[in-house]
Every structure is written in C-alpha cells, then in structure tokens.
Structure 1
C-alpha cells in the first residue's frame, strides 16, 4: 500500500499577516525557496502522488505547486475551514487511487519536516496503524497519516478543526521522531528563519 500525500495549502494565514496582503506560503525561506515549495518538495520526495488543495484566489500557490508536480485541486469552500479543505482533497484523491489506500496529510506552512518522518509515518500505516502521528519531545506534531479505515470520517469533515476531533476520538500510533520540524509552522515572519 502506498499513501497519497495531501498538502493543505488553502488557508489564509491571518496570523502571519492580519491585513492579508502577504501570503505566508509565498514567502521565501533562507535558501530562497518558497514556503509552499519546500513543504511540497518534502512530500514529493517520498510519495508518488501528492494532491494539493488551494483556495480559489491563491496569488500563485497553485502555479508553484503544479510546476513541482503536485496534482492541484481548488476548494471553493476553503474559507469555511481546514476540515472542508481536507475533505475536498480526500474526495479529489479517490479517483485513480487503488482501494484500501491511505493518506498522509501535511500542512503547506510546515516546510521544515524531515522526509525521514514522512517515511516513518508511511511505514506505520503500511504496518497496520489506522492513524499515525509524529511525537517530538513528548509533543504530537504534523503531518498525520491515515489508513483507509478513516476514509468516510475524513470525507465528512467540515469547519476549522480539520481532523482534530477524529484524532481525539481514535487511537493514534505515536511515532517518536528526532525532528523538531513537526512542531514548526510558519505563523509569523520570524518563523521563516527556521
């Protein structure tokens, strides 16, 4: 079983720029890469198929992701919250996905996750975990991998909580990692430094 990578890149990033003038996903990291390019690149290094979900007016995020090789889908209800975007991405991934496949759900504003973490989560689901999440120094982070048993629950998500309720109500296999990137998202310009 190979997981499909899901990249959530449909948020507005209001904490990064309350005025909404600067899209955090299109900001440059110290090595010159866009935040969303770095996040997608990690997924593409591990998964053969990466579905990225973007909002209708993304300022160039979809174009950057297509150039890298992501399958991009526009979520018309992206402003309704991460749950709607995630359900949209899962629904988009189903055609062409063999039955019994799972997903690794990553966030577009988390460019510092190490590919070894992605591989460890992938392995955990392949070995039978219904949900696997990284644990760094006792704190659960992102991304999160889901096995096929959670397909219907993922498709039913809505609102701004994403899969948080699903994670709270289901057993989660914690994968201990030495990867601080699982806790490091871009919420302010200072976070770009790494």
Structure 2
C-alpha cells in the first residue's frame, strides 16, 4: 500500500511531459490525369488499393497526423471507392486551375488547428515512402521551419512548411507552380534533407509512367 501511495505521489509531482510538434500531413490528390486519358490520379491502383489510400498510409507511417486530403477530380468516386477514414477531406472546386489552388485550400483547412507544420506530399509520387516522410518531418525545428526532401541535391517532395509561413505560401501559390516561387525566394532559409537513398521522386503523369505502379 505504501509503495502504491508513493507511486501515485510521484506521478502527481512529476513535471509534465513535453509534447512533440504536431506535423500534419497534407496530401494533394485533386489531379484529373489529363495525360492519362482523364483517369483521376487518386484512383489509380497501387499495391491493390487506390493510390490515394497508399499515399495517406505513407504520411501516417512517416509520423504525420492529422492527415488532410485535398480532392478534386471525381471527388465523389474517391470518397466511395477509397478508404480514407480518419482523414479530413477537403474539396477543391477549382482543381483544374492547378496545384496552387489545392495547396491554398489545403493550408486554409489547417489554419486554426493545432498543427505546427504541414508536410505536403503529392498523390502521384508513389516512389516516396515513409522513410523520406520521416526524415523531412524530423527536420522540423520551429513554426518557421522550411524543409524539403532532396534527390541528388535537387529539391523535391515532400516539403514541410512551418505554420507561420502558411499565409505567405498560400498567397504565392498560383497555377501549377505550387510553392515553387516561395521556395526559390526563400532558398537561404530552406533545409534540404537528402532522400535519394530511400525514395524515388518520379511522377505518374503519362501512360508510360503507369509501369511504376505495382
């Protein structure tokens, strides 16, 4: 009894445990697959399931949470055919405007949440797995962090944006450029994390690229 009481007293007097940063996963999955004959990229099959499901699992296994998914092309079908329970699903009615619009809507959906940073990935890059996500996530230092995976020294995805940068990134995200202009202008603040040994940064854009899917 005395030992049990001492244990309870120690728990009450122990300093509170510090919580780690909340790094949300932001998956951009709105593309309509124009060069794939209009096949929505989110619903391409990879390892027996829709590509969007696989991409969500990569973010979660890499340590991201919560996960927000921006949908666009065939969003109703994606909701029906993909298992995305636990995700926050966000519709981008202007998905045809390009990646920039999805990034803006995704960051807006995270505003006001407890997220300290957003780790952004693209649904059409299945060669980027949990190890690359975890490396980029581990480079978070503050709500001003700006981090990107690198492949042979060249910047790629995923990218991590500290919450204090979201407003300016959203303002610069137009057309299909996403955050490229912002990253170029803030190159001196950007931390590159080499991931070429654990991931491949190819895109699924054309019929020839479908050979990368398993």
Task: Please report how far the alpha carbon of residue 68 of structure 1 lies from its aligned counterpart in structure 2 after TM superposition.
Answer: 4.2
Q: Provide the alpha-carbon RMSD of the alignment.
A: 2.1
Structure 1 residues without counterparts, runs of 5 or longer: none
Q: What SS is found at the alignment partner of 1:135? A: strand
Corresponding residue pairs, total: 187
Of 21, 46, 50, the match for 1:34: 50
Of 26, 31, 37, the match for 1:11: 31
Contact 1:117–1:179 at 8 Å: present in 2 too? yes
Contact 1:54–1:62 at 8 Å: present in 2 too? no
Matched, 1:190 2:205: no
Contact 2:26–2:118 at 8 Å: present in 1 too? yes
Flag as ranges the 4+ runs of structure 1 deviating above 4 A: none
Structure 2 residues without counterparts, runs of 5 or longer: 1-20
- Separation in 1 of the partners of 2:143 and 2:167? 18
Q: What SS is found at the alignment partner of 2:35? A: coil
Matched, 1:176 2:191: no
2:139 alignment counterpart: 124
1:81 alignment counterpart: 98
Q: Which has the higher contact order (CA 8 A, sep 6+)?
A: 1
Highest CA radius of gyration, 1 or 2? 2
Contact 1:40–1:65 at 8 Å: present in 2 too? no
Task: Please report how far the alpha carbon of residue 129 of structure 1 lies from its aligned counterpart in structure 2 after TM superposition.
Answer: 6.8
Q: Report matched runs for 1:1-194 at 5 Å.
A: 1-17=21-37, 20=38, 22-29=39-46, 31-45=47-61, 46-55=63-72, 57-58=74-75, 60-64=77-81, 67-98=84-115, 101-126=116-141, 130-156=145-171, 157-171=173-187, 172-177=190-195, 178-181=197-200, 183-194=201-212
Taking structure 1 as the reference length, what is the TM-score of the superposition?
0.85
Taking structure 2 as the reference length, what is the TM-score of the superposition?
0.78
